Amino acid sequence: MTRAAIVGAAGYAGAELTRLLLGHPDFELVLVTSAADEGKRVSDLYPALAGCNLVYAPHDAAAVAAHAEVAFLAVPHTAAMAMAPLLLDAGLTVIDASADFRLRSPDLFAAWYATPHTAPELIDEAVYGLPELWRALLPGARLVACPGCYPTAALLASAPAIRADVVISSRVIVDAISGVSGAGRTPSPASHFVAANESVAAYKVGSHRHTPEIAQGLDDLGLPHPSVVFTPHLAPLGRGLLATVYLEAEPGLLPEEAHAIYRDAYAGEPFVTVCEPGMQPATAHVRGSNRAHIGVALDESSGTLVVTSAIDNLVKGTSGQAVQCANIVCGFDETAGLNCPVPVV
């Protein structure tokens, strides 16, 4: 068994990581940390995890290094860049679920996150952890930067068409909806029940921090100089994310050809399902799972390829993807701890 620790384990992403690692056949969860809930039992804070006897410890890189071989970081941005160098120097593998190492430009990070990057020497080493698109980079990686939830859905929806060279415009529109858990465990005025219930609202229009990450991924996929229009929305859901991506398709592309591009691109992928022609995904179909369901349609009148991607923001969008990446890095079965049925209602 490979010993694992979760730094920032009391937040929603950390709790999902805890759930997944407790049932993992190859990882032994030996340490969980939390600044706000230090000294509390995991099962007291999250009764759904009854049977887990771990107690939240303080954030301490030396203690993590002494107990674990792999560290999962589920912390706010800037915290990971402070701890990751210490853990890497101690010989640990770091799977970072925060935003600190996703962007390859320190200046771009500083511009979008309003703080300088304090570990720029690690940026080039960090592997962007979206296995379906860049799996070959993961085996043996020391530092994995797990994608954001919106970029995960948007890039999975865009990749096959871009790689098949049927996208003729650098302008990509991403219209996305996420559940309230995406805002984190600490409530804000917009995420309180009375504000979010029975309401759908756009937020951070033109200024969401996932915008440059989506653009970077599109460029890596081969779309030159991408121009991203990204509009996120908050919906009254506990969890779930639905992204609809609009791509300008080459003239003459047929609906059945577009569907075949996606079907063939994701054939054999353990966690991606391309819906049958005429079918569209729903967040309820992937709730609690590490799966992505993708629907493909072609608006022939406008020449627009419309691709919809549904994921669970806390699993494929964060914690499940972190485990998937760690499985590959450590040489385990990629689906270990993740390939289980989920509720159907």
Hey, which residues are catalytic here?
A: 149
The distance of Cα 17 from the centroid of its chain, to the nearest Å, equals 12
Element (H, E) at 93: strand 93-96
* Overall size of the chain counted in residues: 345
Rounded (5°) CA angle 321-134-267: 85
Q: Which of 7, 4, 19 is nearest to 338 (CA)?
A: 19
> What would the two tokens of residue 277 be?
């022609």
* Distance from chain centroid for Cα 83: 20
List 41's β-bridge partners, or say none: 55
Q: Which two tokens stand for residue 198?
A: 């029975």
Q: Give 256-298 as a DSSP string.
A: HHHHHHHHHHTTT-TTEEEPPTT----GGGTTTSS-EEEEEEE
**What region, left, alpha or beta, does residue 58 occupy, with left being phi > 0 and alpha being psi -120 to 50 degrees?**
beta
Q: Show the DSSP H helices in the chain as ranges.
A: 12-22, 42-45, 61-67, 79-89, 106-113, 131-134, 149-163, 193-196, 211-221, 255-265, 320-330
